[in-house]
Structure 1
Amino acid sequence: MLPFLVIARDYSYAAVTGITLAATLLSSLVQPVFGALTDRRPMPWLIAAGPLVAGAGIGLAGVGEAYAFTWAAIALSGIGVAAYHPEAARSARIASGGTARGMSYFSVAGIVGIASAPLLVAPVLGTFGVTATPLLAIPAACAAAVLVPALLWLRRRRLRAGPRKPPPAVDRRDDWRSFGFLTSAVIARSILYFGLLSFVALYLIHELGASTAVGSVALATFIASGSVGALIGGALADRFGRVRTLRIGYLAAAPCVLGLVLAPNLSVAFVVVAVLGLASFLPFAVQVTLGQEYLPHRVGTASGVTLGLAMSIGGLAAPLFGMLADAYDLRVALTVLVAFPLVSLLLTTRLRDVRAV
């Protein structure tokens, strides 16, 4: 949406940055708040209300001419996203019985949604202009309509189960120390992710002579293989343990980044990008489920932090790597990124596995 707003309204780069912050930073900061609220009192209705609010914000973004109106609309959309994730992650945990594989399905759906968004936005706004943003709210409304029956199914499932003995997780204390180390590992991994998201296509274009189209295909390959990696990570975690799976993903990502820097041609680079996407996304869903196990009394808070706040810090660090690339080159920036999965790997030495219940 941003390129269309820039063209239609002649926004400055500073204005574009402000909108990006409204969409991402505000949402990420608010997510733990919603998580804490849902820990006190479950609010399953947020699972349907969140997409509706997010869709309303996107729908309003192009309606008003004033920058402040557009900023507020995008911020509203971010709040809707923030309201959705903690309660949705809790429900995904309940529906899957706490398995990492179940959470990986939930995570991959989000990855696919983010990756496919431009395919919807570009033809709509390209054909009708930015004033057609209300049409972009339709998928959100459809998602909410689909989620309502799912919520009713979960409610019936709980009623059929009847009163039951509290799960063993309730007898465990929240392990804030381990959760802190995990959050630090997630932050380091998110810096790697946002750095790759920013530089993969540009590196192939400027350093290896790829066309813009080929660079875009490489980025799509990175995200697509990441979806596969998230699914594999969930399966591995259920079989071999969450912490071990995190270590595999972090350890595999570092040499892959270095392999991209050393790739002699486009063909090799494409293979490396595909493997890099798989490795870097391997820990994605596992991080969320392990955080939930560390904070069994605050599942919403754990979800809000691992899905929102910790991830957003990587986005904030991305401009610093842009400055590094401007000062030196993309090879240097990518080489520095090699350190971050190793930092995550080092932090996992302070983690322990917890049996999902």
Structure 2
Amino acid sequence: MPRNKAILLLSVGHACVDVYQGAVAALVPFFVAERDYTYAAASGIVLAASLLSSVAQPLFGVLTDRWAMPWLLPLSTFLGGLGIALSGLGGSYALTLVFVAVSGVGVAAYHPESARVARVASKGSHTAMGWFSLGGNLGFAVAPLMVAGVMTAGGLRLTPLFVVPALAGSVLCLLVVRMLDRTSGTGARKAVAAEGADDRASFVKLALAVVCRSIVFIGLSTFISFYTQQRTGGGTAAGTAALCVLYLGGAVGTVLGGNLANRWDRVTVVRGAYLMTVAAVAGIVYAPGPVIYLFVALTSAGLYIPFSLQVTLGQDYLPSRVGTASGITLGLTVSIGGLVSPVIGSVADATSLQTALAPLIAMPALAWLLFRTLPEPVVPKPAAPAPAPSAGAAPAPVQQGAAATPEAELSPSRRDAR
């Protein structure tokens, strides 16, 4: 299977899943407008999407370390879309939380296995993994536009239309699974453990840094629409535009991160990105007027340059548990940001949004400090294959001390002779 074709299909499928993660935050202002939710109640919707997802993704990661489960890709894509499609039906707050949580489980099931498949298809390329992550970021970016279009046409009663990307993504995932079965045989059915020793201490530090990133990103995703309206004096369109900038900047940042990592090591690139993000988030909180859009764009790039690099770093710190590493870096630590959103909402209800968002400035600073202590993992390269002997050449003599030939590599006649 050509690597570029596989990564392209996986990237588009990734977009069809992550559009539902972006849709949750994009739907919040419309739930507030139609159902008069408070900030705390609205952030509870984000919590519902994150809570089950944060627990489920590491569990799915552990499972994919034991067994490859490519069939999860189309199934989880459909489940992620189904939950959001049903979220606007009925006026029950509890039922809305249940549907959004179902979508979160679908997203949770998708990411560990898709990251494993993408790692195999990318053959270790940081740029290719960047393109895979780009698909998810584009899904995030399209979500506010998709939600705004549907909500403008008919409000929450039209949320069943949101199932369409899930159907398309499921078909694309099926194509990838079939290609894997044809070209790699057991590669689509058996999980293969990578070689190398696990560096658990470094992985824990990495996970904590991703938690800090998650708190900033989910916090801004939930409240940037409201905050931009306050700072600019604009309406819903001004807030939706800020959310689009936050997500679209991530598309640029993800590709840029992969390219920069080919020039410098990943840890150095991530450190620089988080340092820039400190100033960018401060600009969002305190800059007046339309200049907020510039700082939103810089924050987006600063948060997304590390995104795919952190996934591959996690996989290299835990080479024997690639699925678990993917589930944590893409799932648990990302979803934890949703757990903090109700706290931000409660503080905003009691004081102001500016006061509630100000602590987010410290999060990328903490991530930068954690990355100052992280090493760049050394990834073992596969040994070059020995050249094939020319026709008629005598076999090379076995030198004393050389490893014995494995039974599996012997021809039947030579095994019988032994």
In structure 2, the residue corresponding to 1:345 is in which secondary structure?
helix
Shift in Å at residue 291 of structure 1?
0.6
Aligned partner (choices 226, 249, 267) of residue 243 of structure 1: 267
1:58–1:302 Cα change, 3 Å: same
Q: Does 1:223 align with 2:251?
A: no
Contact 2:253/2:304 (8 A) holds in 1: yes
Aligned partner (choices 81, 84, 87) of residue 113 of structure 2: 87
Aligned residue type for 2:102: L
Contact 1:231/1:282 (8 A) holds in 2: yes
Contact 2:80/2:166 (8 A) holds in 1: yes
Bigger mean CA deviation after superposition, 290-299 or 135-144: 135-144
- The one-character-per-residue Cα deviations of 1:104-147 (angstroms, maximum 9, x if unpaired) are 22222112212322433444455456554443222211111122
1:205–1:21 Cα change, 3 Å: closer
Q: State how 1:20-35 maps to structure 2 within 5 Å.
A: 20-35=46-61
Aligned partner (choices 33, 46, 55) of residue 81 of structure 2: 55
Contact 2:50/2:339 (8 A) holds in 1: no
- The one-character-per-residue Cα deviations of 1:255-277 (angstroms, maximum 9, x if unpaired) are 2223344535524x332322222
CA RMSD in angstroms comes to 3.1
1:3–1:275 Cα change, 3 Å: closer
Q: Does 1:340 align with 2:340?
A: no
- The one-character-per-residue Cα deviations of 1:188-212 (angstroms, maximum 9, x if unpaired) are 1112222333454444433454554
Aligned partner (choices 165, 171, 184) of residue 145 of structure 1: 171
Aligned residue type for 2:177: L
Contact 2:61/2:112 (8 A) holds in 1: yes
Aligned partner (choices 301, 310, 319) of residue 296 of structure 1: 319
CA distance in 2, matches of 1:25, 1:340: 20
* Greater helix content: 1
1:46–1:314 Cα change, 3 Å: same
- TM-score in terms of structure 1 length: 0.85
Shift in Å at residue 296 of structure 1?
1.0
1:6–1:264 Cα change, 3 Å: closer
1:18–1:286 Cα change, 3 Å: same
CA distance in 2, matches of 1:142, 1:85: 17
In structure 2, the residue corresponding to 1:351 is in which secondary structure?
coil
1:38–1:227 Cα change, 3 Å: same
Aligned partner (choices 162, 174, 183) of residue 157 of structure 1: 183
Q: Does 1:36 align with 2:95?
A: no
CA distance in 2, matches of 1:15, 1:201: 16
- TM-score in terms of structure 2 length: 0.74
Identical aligned residues as a percent = 45
Q: State how 1:155-234 maps to structure 2 within 5 Å.
A: 155-159=181-185, 170-234=194-258
Query: Whose Rg is larger?
Result: 2
Shift in Å at residue 31 of structure 1?
0.7
CA distance in 2, matches of 1:274, 1:173: 38
CA distance in 2, matches of 1:215, 1:125: 15
Identify the residue that residue 282 of structure 1 maps to in structure 2.
Answer: 305
Contact 1:99/1:289 (8 A) holds in 2: no
Identify the residue that residue 388 of structure 2 maps to in structure 1.
Answer: none
1:328–1:305 Cα change, 3 Å: same
5+ residue gaps, structure 2: 1-26, 382-418
In structure 1, the residue corresponding to 2:297 is in which secondary structure?
helix
CA distance in 1, matches of 2:186, 2:266: 31
Contact 2:211/2:336 (8 A) holds in 1: yes
In structure 2, the residue corresponding to 1:350 is in which secondary structure?
coil
Instruction: Name the count of aligned residue pairs.
Output: 352
Contact 2:144/2:243 (8 A) holds in 1: no
CA distance in 2, matches of 1:200, 1:69: 26
- The one-character-per-residue Cα deviations of 1:229-273 (angstroms, maximum 9, x if unpaired) are 111111112321111111011111112223344535524x33232
Contact 2:74/2:171 (8 A) holds in 1: yes
